Amino acid sequence: MPVSLALVAWAAVAFNWYILRAGRQEPTIPISSDDARLDITKIEPVVDDEVKAVLVNYVLSNNGRASAIGMRHQGVVGTATVVMSPSDIDAFFVTLKAQLIADKTESTVEIQPGQTGVWFTIPPVRTQNLDNYTSYKEGRGFLYAAAVLRYRDRIIGEGRHIYTESCVYLVNKIQHFCEGHNQTYIAE
């Protein structure tokens, strides 16, 4: 429970910052069949008994017709003993997208059409609670994993990016999708 509360507080502060700074909801556009499309093909939790935490590996595939250029990601992984509300999950995604937009680091990653097996890891939150870790490992708790990918291709207009959102939670090691956050779209 303390992890959930800490994560919710962090998300609320970040959401408030984003609303004050950005002040507008950006329009989203569906991607076309000609665009790059990074799909998450596998989400694999890894229990690290040495540090008593769970991290998550994401495996990607470019199922679009164009190269995905400059892919960057932000994510969060945490254990909990209660189900998170949709508004808490929404706040995570606002925060993750704001972090991607604020980070001006240029990535030279280019994932070709049809390329598979590209992967990255999201580490656990630092405040992960030992009781929550133990309850997840014993099949009694929840593991939440949320990630946002941001990339572009040579087809979409200047200043726009393609976003792929992924949100899952695992209960007794069975994966469930969060409502509304497993999508790909174009936005500024």
Q: Which amino acid is at 3?
A: V
Q: Decide: helix, strand or coil at residue 165.
A: strand
pLDDT at 64 (0 to 100): 96
pLDDT tens per residue, range 124-178: 766 567 777 787 888 878 889 999 999 999 999 888 999 999 999 998 878 999 9
| Structural domains in the chain, sorted by start | 2-22+30-187 (2.60.40)
C-beta separation of 72 from 104 below 8 A: no
- The Cα–Cα gap between 112 and 69 comes to 9
Q: Is the pTM of this model over 0.75?
A: yes
Cα gap 148→184, rounded to integer Å: 10
Q: What is the DSSP string of 37-106?
A: -EEEEEEEEEEETTTTEEEEEEEEEE-SSS-EEEEEEEEEEEEESSPPPHHHHHHHHHHHHHHHHH----
Name which of 43, 61, 50 is nearest 145 in CA terms: 43
Per-residue model confidence as pLDDT tens digits over 107-126: 999 999 999 999 999 987 66
- Write down how long the chain is: 188
